[in-house]
Amino acid sequence: MKDTSILARRLMEGGSHLQAQNGEEGNKAIKRRSFLNYWLGVSLATFGGFSAYALARYLFPPGLAGAEAAGEDVRIMLSELPVGTAKVFRYKGEPSVAVRTGEKAVRVLSAVCPHLGCIVKWDSGKSLLVCPCHAAVFDVNGNVVSGPAPRPLASYPARIVQDEVIVGET
Ligand code: FES
């Protein structure tokens, strides 16, 4: 009888030792899972942040050169705008695009798509302005060729004088 009670006590002690071991391993597993969840969250947040930033930079290019104040002329060197190319800049506080259509010809339009306000891109292969958001397409005069844009791109006065394009009314 005495032997049985000693055996039972040892078994219980062993059981509680095993429970303690299981508890420690459980805690370790929970800590490991929490750590992995934390880093997974951090990684996803970082990736999401970078993706949103890259998309915003693509759709709304920052640091556009040009006049910020209304009524101020903008000058673009012809060397920065070879024939068949376009340059996005800021005019009257708005993103605008100059398209060099010939040796002595340039068109300047608003670069803001009249559909939902994305910035249009120049497709030099097709000589068209294309909106990356919903695929509105405009010709070099700003007229809608296709897509959801409800009206043409606004046009601004521009002329070539010597070696530069002057955008503005003065
Ligand atoms: S914002 Fe340009 S097509 Fe929708």
Among 59, 115, 119, name the best residue to mutate to test ligand 1's pocket (greatest count of ligand atoms within 8 A of Cβ).
Answer: 115
pLDDT of residue 80: 94
Which pLDDT value is given to residue 69?
47
User: What mean pLDDT comes out for the span 59-68?
Assistant: 53
92-118 pLDDT, tens per residue? 889 999 999 999 999 999 999 999 999
Pick 136 or 44 by higher pLDDT.
136
Distance CA 37, CA 68 (A): 46
pLDDT of residue 77: 94
Least confident range of 58-62, 63-67, 134-138, 155-159: 63-67
Handedness of CA 101, 136, 74, 90 (dihedral sign): negative
User: Tokens representing 63?
Assistant: 């640091």
Q: What is the mean pLDDT of residues 7-11?
A: 58
Separation of 51 CA from ligand 1 center, angstroms? Answer: 20
87 with 76: CB under 8 angstroms? yes
Give the number of the atom of ligand 1 that is nearest the alpha carbon of residue 131.
2
pLDDT at 127 over 90: yes
pTM exceeds cut of 0.95: no
pLDDT, position 26: 72
CA of 109 to the centre of ligand 1 (A): 16
